[in-house]
Amino acid sequence: MPKQASQIFKASALALLMLSLLACNSPEERELKTAREDAEQKNYSAALSHYDKVLIRSPESASALTAAREGAKSAFFDAKNFEKAVLFYKYLVMYSPDPVERMAAQRQIATAYFDHLADYPKAVIEINRLLLMLTDPKEKAEYKMSLARAYYYQNNFTQAENEAEEFLRMPLGTEQRFEMMMLKGNIELAKKDLPKAIGVFKDLLNQFPEKSKKENVGLTLSVCYEEQGDYRSAIETLEDMKKYHPMPDYIDIRIQRLQQRLKNQPGAKGRLRK
Protein backbone atom coordinates (compact mmCIF):
# COMPACT_ATOMS: atom_id res chain seq x y z
CA MET A 1 0.00 0.00 0.00
CA PRO A 2 1.50 3.43 -0.90
CA LYS A 3 2.66 5.43 2.11
CA GLN A 4 0.15 8.27 1.48
CA ALA A 5 -2.78 5.86 1.20
CA SER A 6 -1.68 4.12 4.39
CA GLN A 7 -1.62 7.42 6.25
CA ILE A 8 -5.10 8.32 4.99
CA PHE A 9 -6.43 4.90 6.11
CA LYS A 10 -4.91 5.29 9.57
CA ALA A 11 -6.34 8.80 9.91
CA SER A 12 -9.81 7.59 8.90
CA ALA A 13 -9.66 4.69 11.34
CA LEU A 14 -8.56 7.02 14.11
CA ALA A 15 -11.37 9.44 13.32
CA LEU A 16 -13.95 6.62 13.45
CA LEU A 17 -12.52 5.43 16.74
CA MET A 18 -12.72 8.92 18.18
CA LEU A 19 -16.33 9.31 17.02
CA SER A 20 -17.18 5.98 18.59
CA LEU A 21 -15.57 6.98 21.88
CA LEU A 22 -17.33 10.33 21.81
CA ALA A 23 -20.67 8.61 21.19
CA CYS A 24 -20.10 6.26 24.10
CA ASN A 25 -19.27 9.24 26.28
CA SER A 26 -22.08 11.48 25.11
CA PRO A 27 -24.21 13.05 27.86
CA GLU A 28 -27.11 10.77 26.92
CA GLU A 29 -24.99 7.61 27.16
CA ARG A 30 -23.62 8.74 30.51
CA GLU A 31 -27.15 9.33 31.80
CA LEU A 32 -28.20 5.86 30.62
CA LYS A 33 -25.19 4.29 32.30
CA THR A 34 -25.94 6.08 35.57
CA ALA A 35 -29.64 5.17 35.36
CA ARG A 36 -28.78 1.50 34.93
CA GLU A 37 -26.37 1.61 37.86
CA ASP A 38 -29.03 3.23 40.07
CA ALA A 39 -31.64 0.69 38.97
CA GLU A 40 -29.20 -2.12 39.76
CA GLN A 41 -28.91 -0.72 43.28
CA LYS A 42 -32.74 -0.45 43.47
CA ASN A 43 -32.45 3.34 43.66
CA TYR A 44 -35.37 3.64 41.28
CA SER A 45 -36.22 7.29 41.91
CA ALA A 46 -32.73 8.38 40.87
CA ALA A 47 -32.74 5.98 37.91
CA LEU A 48 -36.01 7.39 36.60
CA SER A 49 -34.65 10.91 36.93
CA HIS A 50 -31.68 10.01 34.71
CA TYR A 51 -33.92 8.34 32.14
CA ASP A 52 -36.01 11.51 32.12
CA LYS A 53 -32.96 13.64 31.37
CA VAL A 54 -32.19 11.60 28.25
CA LEU A 55 -35.67 12.26 26.87
CA ILE A 56 -35.44 15.96 27.67
CA ARG A 57 -31.96 16.47 26.17
CA SER A 58 -32.38 14.42 23.03
CA PRO A 59 -36.04 13.47 22.50
CA GLU A 60 -35.64 12.18 18.93
CA SER A 61 -32.47 10.14 19.44
CA ALA A 62 -31.99 6.38 19.66
CA SER A 63 -30.81 6.92 23.23
CA ALA A 64 -34.19 8.46 24.08
CA LEU A 65 -36.02 5.38 22.81
CA THR A 66 -33.76 3.19 24.93
CA ALA A 67 -34.35 5.42 27.96
CA ALA A 68 -38.11 5.28 27.44
CA ARG A 69 -38.11 1.49 27.17
CA GLU A 70 -35.94 0.96 30.22
CA GLY A 71 -37.58 3.78 32.20
CA ALA A 72 -41.10 2.47 31.50
CA LYS A 73 -40.17 -1.02 32.68
CA SER A 74 -38.43 0.27 35.79
CA ALA A 75 -41.23 2.68 36.69
CA PHE A 76 -44.08 0.20 36.10
CA PHE A 77 -42.67 -3.06 37.44
CA ASP A 78 -39.97 -2.02 39.91
CA ALA A 79 -40.82 1.40 41.32
CA LYS A 80 -44.60 0.98 40.92
CA ASN A 81 -44.58 4.65 39.91
CA PHE A 82 -47.42 4.36 37.43
CA GLU A 83 -47.74 8.06 36.64
CA LYS A 84 -44.07 8.14 35.62
CA ALA A 85 -44.49 4.89 33.70
CA VAL A 86 -47.33 6.46 31.71
CA LEU A 87 -45.03 9.27 30.58
CA PHE A 88 -42.42 6.83 29.29
CA TYR A 89 -45.05 4.67 27.58
CA LYS A 90 -46.60 7.74 25.94
CA TYR A 91 -43.18 8.59 24.53
CA LEU A 92 -43.01 5.08 23.00
CA VAL A 93 -46.49 5.46 21.50
CA MET A 94 -45.38 8.69 19.83
CA TYR A 95 -41.85 7.85 18.75
CA SER A 96 -41.34 4.10 18.46
CA PRO A 97 -41.00 2.96 14.82
CA ASP A 98 -42.36 -0.47 15.81
CA PRO A 99 -46.19 -0.75 15.66
CA VAL A 100 -46.13 -3.78 17.99
CA GLU A 101 -44.20 -1.78 20.56
CA ARG A 102 -46.57 1.18 20.21
CA MET A 103 -49.59 -1.06 20.81
CA ALA A 104 -47.94 -2.73 23.81
CA ALA A 105 -47.17 0.70 25.28
CA GLN A 106 -50.78 1.81 24.80
CA ARG A 107 -51.95 -1.32 26.61
CA GLN A 108 -49.75 -0.44 29.57
CA ILE A 109 -51.08 3.14 29.65
CA ALA A 110 -54.67 1.89 29.76
CA THR A 111 -53.78 -0.66 32.44
CA ALA A 112 -52.00 1.94 34.56
CA TYR A 113 -54.95 4.33 34.58
CA PHE A 114 -57.63 1.65 35.06
CA ASP A 115 -56.06 -0.94 37.36
CA HIS A 116 -53.43 1.01 39.30
CA LEU A 117 -54.32 4.70 39.39
CA ALA A 118 -58.13 4.29 39.33
CA ASP A 119 -58.23 7.41 37.16
CA TYR A 120 -61.33 6.39 35.25
CA PRO A 121 -61.79 9.53 33.10
CA LYS A 122 -58.27 9.07 31.73
CA ALA A 123 -58.78 5.31 31.51
CA VAL A 124 -61.79 5.92 29.22
CA ILE A 125 -59.66 8.07 26.89
CA GLU A 126 -56.76 5.62 26.75
CA ILE A 127 -58.91 2.50 26.39
CA ASN A 128 -60.74 4.12 23.47
CA ARG A 129 -57.37 4.88 21.84
CA LEU A 130 -56.30 1.29 22.38
CA LEU A 131 -59.51 -0.09 20.88
CA LEU A 132 -58.73 1.74 17.62
CA MET A 133 -55.41 -0.14 17.47
CA LEU A 134 -56.63 -3.64 18.34
CA THR A 135 -57.67 -6.23 15.77
CA ASP A 136 -58.11 -9.38 17.88
CA PRO A 137 -61.86 -9.75 18.74
CA LYS A 138 -61.22 -11.47 22.08
CA GLU A 139 -58.82 -8.77 23.24
CA LYS A 140 -61.16 -6.02 22.04
CA ALA A 141 -63.92 -7.62 24.10
CA GLU A 142 -61.74 -7.57 27.23
CA TYR A 143 -61.05 -3.87 26.88
CA LYS A 144 -64.68 -3.10 26.01
CA MET A 145 -65.54 -4.65 29.35
CA SER A 146 -62.99 -2.43 31.09
CA LEU A 147 -64.44 0.57 29.26
CA ALA A 148 -67.97 -0.22 30.49
CA ARG A 149 -66.65 -0.57 34.04
CA ALA A 150 -64.74 2.69 33.81
CA TYR A 151 -67.98 4.50 32.95
CA TYR A 152 -69.81 2.62 35.73
CA TYR A 153 -67.22 3.62 38.34
CA GLN A 154 -67.75 7.27 37.32
CA ASN A 155 -71.52 6.87 37.84
CA ASN A 156 -72.00 7.49 34.12
CA PHE A 157 -74.61 4.75 34.02
CA THR A 158 -76.11 5.65 30.65
CA GLN A 159 -72.80 5.32 28.82
CA ALA A 160 -71.91 2.24 30.86
CA GLU A 161 -75.20 0.64 29.80
CA ASN A 162 -74.55 1.52 26.14
CA GLU A 163 -71.13 -0.10 26.28
CA ALA A 164 -72.54 -3.17 28.05
CA GLU A 165 -75.27 -3.66 25.47
CA GLU A 166 -72.79 -3.26 22.60
CA PHE A 167 -70.50 -5.73 24.32
CA LEU A 168 -73.27 -8.31 24.71
CA ARG A 169 -73.94 -8.19 20.95
CA MET A 170 -70.39 -9.45 20.35
CA PRO A 171 -69.47 -13.16 20.06
CA LEU A 172 -68.35 -13.93 23.61
CA GLY A 173 -67.08 -16.71 25.81
CA THR A 174 -69.17 -17.89 28.76
CA GLU A 175 -67.06 -16.06 31.35
CA GLN A 176 -67.14 -12.76 29.48
CA ARG A 177 -70.90 -12.92 28.94
CA PHE A 178 -71.54 -13.73 32.60
CA GLU A 179 -69.34 -10.87 33.82
CA MET A 180 -70.92 -8.31 31.51
CA MET A 181 -74.45 -9.41 32.35
CA MET A 182 -73.54 -9.02 36.04
CA LEU A 183 -72.28 -5.52 35.34
CA LYS A 184 -75.41 -4.69 33.34
CA GLY A 185 -77.59 -5.89 36.22
CA ASN A 186 -75.63 -3.73 38.66
CA ILE A 187 -75.94 -0.75 36.32
CA GLU A 188 -79.73 -1.15 36.23
CA LEU A 189 -79.79 -1.52 40.02
CA ALA A 190 -77.71 1.65 40.41
CA LYS A 191 -80.12 3.45 38.05
CA LYS A 192 -83.02 2.18 40.22
CA ASP A 193 -84.53 0.53 37.15
CA LEU A 194 -85.57 -2.46 39.26
CA PRO A 195 -87.67 -4.33 36.65
CA LYS A 196 -84.71 -4.34 34.23
CA ALA A 197 -82.27 -5.35 36.98
CA ILE A 198 -84.55 -8.19 38.06
CA GLY A 199 -84.79 -9.38 34.45
CA VAL A 200 -81.01 -9.46 34.07
CA PHE A 201 -80.37 -11.30 37.34
CA LYS A 202 -83.11 -13.86 36.58
CA ASP A 203 -81.52 -14.45 33.17
CA LEU A 204 -78.18 -15.03 34.88
CA LEU A 205 -79.70 -17.60 37.24
CA ASN A 206 -81.32 -19.41 34.30
CA GLN A 207 -78.37 -19.27 31.88
CA PHE A 208 -75.49 -19.74 34.34
CA PRO A 209 -76.91 -21.55 37.39
CA GLU A 210 -73.62 -22.84 38.84
CA LYS A 211 -71.68 -19.64 38.27
CA SER A 212 -74.58 -17.62 39.68
CA LYS A 213 -74.54 -19.71 42.86
CA LYS A 214 -70.84 -18.98 43.39
CA GLU A 215 -71.35 -15.26 42.79
CA ASN A 216 -74.46 -14.96 45.01
CA VAL A 217 -76.63 -13.65 42.18
CA GLY A 218 -79.71 -14.79 44.08
CA LEU A 219 -78.82 -12.51 46.99
CA THR A 220 -78.63 -9.52 44.66
CA LEU A 221 -81.92 -10.51 43.07
CA SER A 222 -83.55 -10.65 46.50
CA VAL A 223 -82.28 -7.11 47.19
CA CYS A 224 -83.93 -5.94 43.97
CA TYR A 225 -87.23 -7.50 45.01
CA GLU A 226 -86.91 -5.98 48.46
CA GLU A 227 -86.28 -2.49 47.07
CA GLN A 228 -89.30 -2.98 44.84
CA GLY A 229 -91.40 -3.85 47.91
CA ASP A 230 -92.00 -7.39 46.67
CA TYR A 231 -91.04 -9.10 49.94
CA ARG A 232 -92.73 -12.37 49.03
CA SER A 233 -90.55 -12.83 45.91
CA ALA A 234 -87.46 -11.78 47.89
CA ILE A 235 -88.21 -14.46 50.50
CA GLU A 236 -88.80 -17.13 47.84
CA THR A 237 -85.49 -16.27 46.20
CA LEU A 238 -83.65 -16.56 49.54
CA GLU A 239 -85.40 -19.85 50.34
CA ASP A 240 -83.98 -21.26 47.09
CA MET A 241 -80.53 -19.91 47.99
CA LYS A 242 -80.56 -21.53 51.42
CA LYS A 243 -80.31 -24.97 49.78
CA TYR A 244 -76.77 -24.31 48.54
CA HIS A 245 -75.45 -21.22 50.37
CA PRO A 246 -72.43 -21.92 52.63
CA MET A 247 -73.99 -19.77 55.39
CA PRO A 248 -77.64 -20.82 55.64
CA ASP A 249 -78.00 -19.17 59.06
CA TYR A 250 -77.19 -15.81 57.47
CA ILE A 251 -79.86 -16.42 54.83
CA ASP A 252 -82.34 -17.36 57.58
CA ILE A 253 -81.73 -14.03 59.32
CA ARG A 254 -82.47 -12.16 56.10
CA ILE A 255 -85.61 -14.23 55.53
CA GLN A 256 -86.86 -13.53 59.06
CA ARG A 257 -86.31 -9.80 58.61
CA LEU A 258 -88.23 -9.84 55.33
CA GLN A 259 -91.03 -11.90 56.87
CA GLN A 260 -91.39 -9.26 59.56
CA ARG A 261 -91.54 -6.50 56.95
CA LEU A 262 -94.14 -8.44 55.00
CA LYS A 263 -96.17 -9.02 58.16
CA ASN A 264 -96.11 -5.27 58.93
CA GLN A 265 -97.36 -4.29 55.48
CA PRO A 266 -100.77 -2.63 55.47
CA GLY A 267 -103.44 -5.21 54.68
CA ALA A 268 -101.11 -8.17 55.08
CA LYS A 269 -103.17 -11.36 55.45
CA GLY A 270 -102.58 -15.02 55.75
CA ARG A 271 -99.48 -16.99 56.37
CA LEU A 272 -96.33 -16.78 54.28
CA ARG A 273 -95.58 -19.52 51.84
CA LYS A 274 -92.70 -21.73 52.82
Look at residue 264 and tell me if it is in a domain: no
Report the alpha-carbon distance of residue 259 to residue 273 in Å, rounded.
10
Look at residue 34 and tell me if it is in a domain: yes
The pTM of this model reads 0.84
Look at residue 6 and tell me if it is in a domain: no
Look at residue 59 and tell me if it is in a domain: yes
Least confident interval from 1-15, 181-195, 209-223:
1-15
Report the alpha-carbon distance of residue 27 to residue 50 in Å, rounded.
11
- Percent pLDDT > 70 in the chain is 88
Which of left, alpha, beta for 61 (phi over 0: left; psi -120 to 50: alpha)? beta
Sign of CA dihedral 161, 164, 165, 166: positive
Q: Are 91 and 69 in contact (CB under 8 A)?
A: no
pLDDT digits (tens, 9 = 90+) for 109-135: 999 999 999 999 999 999 999 999 999
Count H helices, E strands: the chain? 15, 0
Structural domain count of the chain: 1
Q: Are 167 and 180 in contact (CB under 8 A)?
A: yes
Look at residue 126 and tell me if it is in a domain: yes
Mean pLDDT of 206-221: 96
pLDDT at 272 over 80: no
pLDDT at 69 over 60: yes
pLDDT digits (tens, 9 = 90+) for 16-40: 444 444 445 789 999 999 999 999 9
Look at residue 38 and tell me if it is in a domain: yes
Look at residue 116 and tell me if it is in a domain: yes
Alpha helical stretches, state H, the chain? 3-24, 27-40, 44-57, 62-73, 82-95, 99-111, 120-133, 137-153, 157-168, 174-190, 194-207, 209-214, 217-228, 231-242, 248-263
Question: Which domain CATH number covers 70?
Answer: 1.25.40.10
Look at residue 51 and tell me if it is in a domain: yes
Residue 1 neighbours by CB under 8 Å, 6+ apart: 9
Report the alpha-carbon distance of residue 190 to residue 155 in Å, rounded.
8
Which range of residues forms the domain containing residue 34? 30-133
Sign of CA dihedral 251, 253, 255, 258: negative
